[in-house]
Amino acid sequence: MMAEFGDFECARRLLDEGESQLRDAWTYELGRLLVRRFQVETLAGDPPAAEDALAEAQAIATQLSSGPESGLGQLLLEVLGERDGSGQAP
């Protein structure tokens, strides 16, 4: 939400706080947070950071066997469709 208003510093700070709490504890939720980080970094104009977050989220989804029916899988499909410009999941 903060990123949508252009407050990328605040959005990144909140994501950093959430990531520190989730890493090594709640892997599934970390994956969902990383998808949100991809969205924030995309809006902020930092493609390398966005792609790093997306790659880690995809790796987590693979590790947890989170398919397209899962919440994480749905988020990934959504952002991949947006990233590829189709507006639809691949």
User: Which residues neighbour 29 within 8 Å (Cβ) at sequence distance 6 or greater?
Assistant: 22
pTM: 0.85
pLDDT (tens digit per residue) in 58-67: 999 999 999 8
pLDDT (tens digit per residue) in 6-58: 788 999 999 999 999 999 899 999 999 999 999 999 999 999 999 999 999 99
CA distance 66 to 22: 17
